[in-house]
Structure 1
């Protein structure tokens, strides 16, 4: 009942009068309140619907419930206005009051909630912050796009590099990338290596197992830096080959630490080095063998001469010789050795080793059958007999030949004695050897006649001569005649006949030397040339000594003569080989110096910043490599229709500074063009035909399939441009080509990073960098900087009528106009959209205004045609500011220019407006008067 009474009271209208009576029911006043409250209620009800729709669509909004609370508050407010209309005729003021109370409660609750929510709301980004965030995101997107372009460009470079490159994961040694050159070097198909362990391309060894390679990669990651070495690898078909490898480590965004390996096939170089080393070893062996043979031959000759002299003395004085040989035999060396039961040598002295012609080490562990097989036939039975019986054998005479002298029969007395062990068992046999060959020869000599001695001399091929100065009788043996190319008794032996055989160039000093030897009582020894009857020249060695009387007068001279032609020829050959070796060493030294200089050139080229600097570096460092030569470096112009001389040395006047590509055979053929003095008809048209060079070489500079220029060399005398120098020129041309290509690529990338791709003007990033530096320079040198901001009027209209391509066409044309209008020290930048900005160093505000007016006029006079359609007149608005008049920072000056541009737009466009200092701007900000823009002649 209470609830019913309360409801009746709320809707009761009997005790009150309608609200319309308060307005005296004046129609105008009633309708004014009716319409106002109706519109307010309608607006209030539409706002909650809009908020609810907005919250439903934007479910990502933070604290969306506040919007619903606002909706309830606004609905209650709208209801109060409806009640105002209702109470005009129906005075239900209790109901109206309750609704207002509800509205008041919701209002207070909403206000309290809003106060509590305010810190959270304030923490949300403002529109300006959102703008900055969006700008940063846009910049990141542009940077990422630029990075993707650079990555694509680098991928193209990697695919076309002359060296093989692969990327190997440091954690598991798996190949994640290999460029085409790497796959070609190792004989694999495209992408066949990716995902496989790098050990698949390493030559199998203990260190190239997967575990060993993984450990080496981990070590390289820890050490960092770049490592260069030579390594043996294996191709897909299991063919081993050598590579020069350079490795470094970098962090990959997807794979973490990655080992970069750059490899180049050096198999040909390794084979050439091995071949050269083998040739050097063979040459050294031949030289050593030849020297040893000559030494041994000379030693044998000396021994034979001594022996022959000894024999001659024995023949002349038989009694004395016999006593001498007897004494010599008594004092002869005795050989001693010990054999084991297997007849192997256990010990041997030097005397017996010398008899055998071997070293002591050559005997140990070997049997006499292995050392002296011819003599062992007589030794082995005696050795076995001593071992079996334990009885000594004394003075067993044996004879035979030694392996070192198979033609010489020698004689020995050999004694054998047993060596017993503890059990009276023969454990070894001792052997004493006494050579009696000399005694045997003496005995034979004593028994034989002088004819036998002559025959012995004939066998030795040694000439013998005997001059008796008392009887004037001269004796030559048969070998003496043979050594002079004569038949026996062809001429009568005499000193005059001997002098006649001597070569005319040697005759004087040989005769004088022989005479002086007789006078000084010294032995005679000389090497000289003789001439045979057939006019052939031979070398001989002549040795002799004289017998003197009591007065010191020579009464007799005896000597030997030997043919040493082969030895002399060997010495000459040795001298020639030595000269060739010295020449080869000198050539290698020169090659090494050239390679060091080429390496230095390569280092300098990698540090050059411009093409001109690279050419100047070549001119300075390569000049010593091409003495007495004229060298010119030509570059192809950007138009590709001419070549220009960049740098040169030598006879520069003979070089054309400008010529067409078709004037050069090398450029037309795409390969080097060599001309010597016999083929002047094939000289290039750019060469000096009035005074043609003796030699000419043109080498096209090509990198990555593109012809960049030409390296031209010429010499006025033949022989200057040797094959080695021509090859050196090709090497330098290749290095210079790569350097120029890298510098061009670097310049292109630099230009792309600071230029707007559409207009060719500098971009905003470069503007800020340049302006900051220029402000510091202006502060240091006390000058001003003019800033002109430009905006094309009604640009959207051009976009709408001509399309975006037409708008881009207009931007390009105006960008070109700005580039033509500014000085070299000025920069023109695209600030954004159709806005552009000019930075004018060392320009006052007045001159900047004049420059702006000139550019404005030039733009207005542009008459452009796009797609055969004339474009309407183009105008632009200009805002001018100046450092330091309008601020001391980049942002302050640009903000002033931007504000001036805004006022130029609001002031009617197509005009130049000067910026206002910041103090005036702050005062003007309260007026919001667009007509406050100053005319051109108003300074400030």
Structure 2
């Protein structure tokens, strides 16, 4: 069958008849045209019906049909041209596409079967038409709602605004612009803030953005200021808007013009203020113009207010309303003056005022000074007065003040005269000095001290007559006083007298100020201290000589005390040796004599040691440090208790008493005080010793107190003298130098020391540093 010899020849070897060949040619041509047109129709269909879920199969149909038409076209071609390989390839492609299409068609059969039927499509179409109709109606309703909303926004009696999430305006209605005096373009963003009243702007902006940051509602009363400076009070409020996801998208708010209510509120306040002022005026009228009167002149009737009657000590019903009432109570000497003034007022038709200051008798008998003033307010055609009104004012206090002022003026005049006399005759120099240092006023004593006549001194300044070496210190204090840093100052300085000598003076300067507190001038008091200065120089000279003598005496005492030690040691040593070597040959009297010799040698030794200690205190170079007196007192008392542990002594030491002093000298002071306290309480079974601190006139004072033997205060001045003792040595041993040493140590610290005591009631020793 595959033998090519069995195929029917074609092309130039065709054995077909021409009629048969034509039939094949025309048929294949028409098939090709039809096959090529069908894909175009399918393509057009697919483009128009993209909603068909299996549209891709139509594209495969189109490809299958195109290749099928191409095979028919190749049949025509091969009638003349034997291109059978090309024809075969096209047929193979057609076969492949056909098979693929058939397979694809089988795969999409379930989708095709799921396509709605015409009835179902009609039902769906009907539902879609219903939904479309509802959508159109909703659109119409929405449009109508938007129209109503737009109408409401246009006619709403409030300003409406919307903002974005950060608080910037993106919409305002016309009424908002009308209230705020802005255009919609200016009001958007932050432009609305431009017309806020300057006094409100910072507060409004701060609270607005605080609400935005916190996503909280906004409520505030504030003002807009229009270009013509009119003010509109508004009440602004806004709430947040949120999207479906819960995110804040902005604010929607309103502003309401509350100017009318604010105006009403202001008017109400003004009315209330006016009412209060009216009440105050009524009260003032009743208080100040208490003597109000209204006089009907032709009928000789007069209304006298209750206040006038109370002014004179009467109740309203105690005095009749009549001109005779006040004419009866006025001082007889003052009545003619009032009547004359009344006649002058009437004759001048009111040109001459009716005004008097007169006296009335009070109900209690005292005198009341009263201003009586009034005016005719009605006249008849003939020029006769018909009605006159006026008032009485109690000016007794003023009259009393005037009398007091007159008395004060008289007293001031007397004092001024006394001041002039004192100023001129004072025993010290007095001068008034200008702020520049020029002498304005001075007394004769100052001229005598300065050595210039008054006329010359008034042309000089204090700077010109002050000794050059003293001028700077004077100017420093002068400037300090002028600057208000001090109230007064006092210095010692020298004036250069006219004849060329100088005089020492003590100058005291004070500043006199105007009523407003500004400086006016200085008052200087000048005392001649030349004699005192000469005495001081002599005293200084004597003190220098005395100090030198004291140093020589102390050196001598130190040397003598030191030199006495050697013979004392020899006497003590030989006495002891004699007793040890020959004691058995001595009778009792001889032994007693030697014992007394040794005791006195020992006492002499202690006396020499105390003298040396006193001398050392006088010559010791002080080194100031922080000294804890409490700790030092505790240490010394512990040493004393160790020496006599059997004694029952209560100690009271104030804690942390710290001073700036020399530690060595402070040990000397406390050692002597505490040893004395220990010694003079030794005869008691129980005793108390106290160290503490107190304040006198804001200065710290330190003390050591005991409850021992005490002493008579009549002998207190002898306490701190060398070798002075107030008790018998047999009862309380000692040298009498310890307190003198204490006093020397305290004096070297610039302090003082004293004592208070009573016999058998203890003693307290005080000292300062």
The structure whose Rg is larger is 2
Q: TM-score, normalised by structure 1?
A: 0.26
